Structure 1
Amino acid sequence: MSLKVIFRISVLGFGGAERVFLSLAEYLHCHHNCEIIFVVDRLAGENDVNARALGLQVISLDVNRTLQSILPFKKVLESIKPDIVLSAYPDTNGSVLIARILSKHKCPIIVSEHASIKHHFQASSFHRRQIVNFIVSYLYLLANAVVCVSKGLQFELSGLMKSKSKVRAIYNPIRYASMQVQLYKHDKKTANILAVGRVVKAKDYMTLLMAFKKLKTVNAKLTILGGISDKLESQLLIDFVAANDLNGRVTFSEYTNNPEIFYQEADLFVLSSAWEGFGNVIVEAMAFGLPIVSTDCDSGPAEILKNGQFGRLVPVGDAEAMALAIDEVLSNNPFDPKLQRQRAEDFSVQKIGLEYYNLLVSTVNTFNA
């Protein structure tokens, strides 16, 4: 079945949900001949261009705040008349559901969550938390389906919604097909440790730096790839590096849309997050055959690593345990690169894309019955 699908997201930036939406949109367009329209609050940069280069439409509502998008999106629904809408993030999801109530064109809506509500908004104001809780607990009940990117997140949202019937987990697809990844040998005189993700509090890079300082492994180097989103957090990390004489051994690299070279040169991947929605970068690292050390945080890492079968899990915020795990894996890697890559294939765009396509079709058929 060929569908006309609106992907609704606030901006096409470089976050995890944006990459997931682009991958899914490309898959649906190329493999199932779906007509894809991205609708964003405003144009944000390179990924708008990337989407159009894939043959996908991008429509900007030209609003500064998602709340202002309700009436403009209502008009888009009435003019485009999509078969179905897939949206992401609480504010956008809520605005889409309200717009459908107001619109003359009725179609099914699938909302998706990519981050923990309880963790992601814990530092927000009381008023902000109340708004998000209202959207998730009440407006999400109006959706035809709710997709969470991990089973842990599915459990969390089911509790907030006090309903399990509409909530399901579909893992994120990765951008690399592991069997097509080019691997090569590099200088083993240095143990290259890699972490990928923006510098924000949720990534808890301070614990990683503290663990790195404790390592017994000689000639180890650490690269944190992803750029700075939180300047205060970044300064704390930079100050720690300087105070502990780690300059030259720790590198902060800007975001790149092509991080393959960093994965190829790494000997070990570490995720130090205090919380995640899924943990895409773990699967990306596995596609390159890398061993993994990760915090056992909510939600995703334990599911990806099958409770330690494909990587070491350590408690959140425990630098001592993280350092010990890193040293042990670097000295005697117990994880077969071939098995790591095979596990990554469980999250291929083809497999995850087909899950989404089947959900879209069944949701449309049920809505139109």
Structure 2
Amino acid sequence: MSTDKTICLIIHSLGIGGMERVMAQLAVNFADRTGTEVHLILIGRDRKVVYEIPKTVVVHKPGFIFNNSRRTVDTLRTIYFLRSRVLKIKPDTILSFGEIWNNLVLIALYGAGFPVYISDRSQPGKDLGRLHNFLRSKLYPKAAGYIAQTKEAKKICSMNRWNNNIEVIGNPIRQIHSNGQAKRENVVLSIGRLIRTKHFDELIKMFVDIGLPDWKLVIVGGDSKKQNLSRKLKTLVRELDAEGSVFLEGEQQHIDPYFNKSKIFAFSSSSEGFPNVIGEALSAGLPVVAYDCNAGPSDMIENNKNGFLVPLFDQEAFKDCLKELMSNENVRKKFQQNAPKGIQDFIPDEIADKFYSFILSHESNH
């Protein structure tokens, strides 16, 4: 089969996470296109692949283990590996995900002549520290284009003059299919990495405060960013005498059964790029209560239609909305019927088409 297009995808890893799942979905979609060859380069410390990707996707990893004690040397080795590998692949286009990683990719490929499209995947305009903020201001304008996950992210990119070629493309939202056997239980579900900005401690306290019997709070997610919060959260649950109603499930690769078994999705995060799990909860027919953080939830939740959008950090309002959903079956059913409307703009194949067209748009401009 002749290759018409060679696409190179670059990310730190394909471990569990929203950004990683999107990249995996794009790799699957692109590899399925006739005449398209897909290369995936993993440049992080932990270069695992937990998502299923086609055997036709060529995966590249540096041949050394990244050692933090010789961070500078191993960062330089990663840059050299990345540049030499891309020069060998000679892709028609490159897509890189992740702030800080985008800086590394743009440094590695500086002057190499390949179009590099970049996308930040967390809170728009996130402070990366003095060095990386400086690098971003100098390097991002050199990229062929910038993919913003939300209109808010595009506004921040324009305001900071990071790039002139900006396209807003949301995330592909997987359809969560019920197998028809799972019976919904009185479960409030929350999913996310155990990091401080997700505020799982506050969610646990709010749930316990509500005090409705026969309800459970289930939190799915593992420790991340060396914050080791699982131990603290377990201690909190014990102190609140809530071990019979609050369950910390840890990191789970298969989360669909949790969506299919629950009745409500609670999202207490204060900082997001585009929270896939909200979309997945809606696709599973779950009403959602979420903080209206600066980007993401309001792109999918229409307040009082398919969920509740709560002013950021207003814990009393969040608690009231969660209690309303737990105690009022009519409201739950109304939101459930409206849930799919929140994700109709994020059908995976249509999102992948937008990515594909945009990262190859430079060819039609020549």
Give, as a single letter, the amino acid of the residue that structure 1 aligns with 2:269. Answer: S
250-259 or 138-147, larger mean C-alpha shift: 250-259
Q: How far did 1:238 drift?
A: 2.1
Q: Which runs of 4+ in 1 moved over 6 A?
A: none
Q: 1:58 to 1:308 in 2, by over 3 A?
A: farther
Instruction: Indicate yes or no: 2:216 matched with 1:221.
Output: yes
- Partner secondary structure for residue 172 of structure 1: coil
1:70-100 deviations in Å (ceiling 9; x for gaps)? 2222211221100000001233212222232
* Cα distance in structure 1, aligned partners of 2:201 and 2:314: 11
Instruction: Indicate yes or no: 2:136 matched with 1:140.
Output: no
Aligned to 1:323: 319
Aligned to 1:21: 23
- Partner secondary structure for residue 158 of structure 2: helix
- Partner secondary structure for residue 219 of structure 1: coil
Instruction: Indicate yes or no: 2:91 matched with 1:82.
Output: yes
Aligned to 1:125: none
Q: 1:30 to 1:310 in 2, by over 3 A?
A: same
Q: Is the 8 A contact 2:125 2:153 kept in 1?
A: no
* Cα distance in structure 2, aligned partners of 1:307 and 1:154: 23
Q: Is the 8 A contact 2:10 2:42 kept in 1?
A: yes
Give, as a single letter, the amino acid of the residue that structure 2 aligns with 1:166. Answer: N
Q: 1:157 to 1:350 in 2, by over 3 A?
A: same
Q: Is the 8 A contact 1:268 1:330 kept in 2?
A: yes
Q: How far did 1:49 drift?
A: 7.4
Aligned to 1:266: 262
| 1:100-115 matched pairs, under 5 angstroms | 100-103=109-112, 106-115=113-122
- Partner secondary structure for residue 13 of structure 1: coil
251-260 or 230-239, larger mean C-alpha shift: 230-239
Give, as a single letter, the amino acid of the residue that structure 1 aligns with 2:346. Answer: F
Aligned to 2:196: 201
Q: How far did 1:243 drift?
A: 1.4
Aligned to 1:186: 183
Q: 1:328 to 1:146 in 2, by over 3 A?
A: same
Taking every aligned residue pair, what percent have the same amino acid on both sides? 26
* Cα distance in structure 2, aligned partners of 1:196 and 1:235: 17
1:52-77 deviations in Å (ceiling 9; x for gaps)? x4431100123525453222222112
Instruction: Indicate yes or no: 2:74 matched with 1:68.
Output: no
* Cα distance in structure 2, aligned partners of 1:16 and 1:289: 20
- Partner secondary structure for residue 85 of structure 1: strand
Q: How far did 1:300 drift?
A: 0.5
1:232-283 deviations in Å (ceiling 9; x for gaps)? 4333322221111111211111222211110001000011001111110000
- Partner secondary structure for residue 138 of structure 1: helix
Which segments of 5 or more consecutive residues in structure 1 lack a partner in the other structure?
A: 122-128
* Cα distance in structure 1, aligned partners of 2:231 and 2:50: 31
Q: How far did 1:218 drift?
A: 2.4
Q: Is the 8 A contact 2:184 2:260 kept in 1?
A: no
Q: Is the 8 A contact 1:194 1:223 kept in 2?
A: yes
Q: Is the 8 A contact 2:39 2:60 kept in 1?
A: yes
Q: How far did 1:136 drift?
A: 2.0
Greater helix content: 1
- Partner secondary structure for residue 141 of structure 2: helix
Q: How far did 1:197 drift?
A: 0.6
* Cα distance in structure 2, aligned partners of 1:204 and 1:272: 6
- Partner secondary structure for residue 277 of structure 1: coil
Q: Is the 8 A contact 1:207 1:317 kept in 2?
A: no
* Cα distance in structure 1, aligned partners of 2:182 and 2:81: 53
Q: Is the 8 A contact 2:8 2:39 kept in 1?
A: yes
- Partner secondary structure for residue 211 of structure 1: helix
Aligned to 2:71: none
Aligned to 2:70: none
- Partner secondary structure for residue 141 of structure 1: helix
Q: 1:331 to 1:185 in 2, by over 3 A?
A: farther
Q: How far did 1:42 drift?
A: 5.7
* Cα distance in structure 2, aligned partners of 1:110 and 1:301: 25
Q: Is the 8 A contact 1:115 1:277 kept in 2?
A: yes
* Cα distance in structure 1, aligned partners of 2:30 and 2:76: 29
TM-score (norm 2): 0.88
Give, as a single letter, the amino acid of the residue that structure 1 aligns with 2:130. Answer: Q
Q: How far did 1:164 drift?
A: 6.0
Give, as a single letter, the amino acid of the residue that structure 2 aligns with 1:91. Answer: I
Aligned to 2:106: 97
Aligned to 2:32: 30
Q: How far did 1:38 drift?
A: 0.5
Give, as a single letter, the amino acid of the residue that structure 2 aligns with 1:35. Answer: E
* Cα distance in structure 1, aligned partners of 2:17 and 2:127: 14
Q: Is the 8 A contact 1:210 1:319 kept in 2?
A: no
* Cα distance in structure 2, aligned partners of 1:118 and 1:79: 34
Q: How far did 1:2 drift?
A: 4.1
Q: How far did 1:299 drift?
A: 1.3
Give, as a single letter, the amino acid of the residue that structure 1 aligns with 2:58. Answer: Q
* Cα distance in structure 1, aligned partners of 2:135 and 2:204: 37
- Computed over aligned residues only, the root mean square deviation of the Cα atoms, in angstroms, reads 2.4
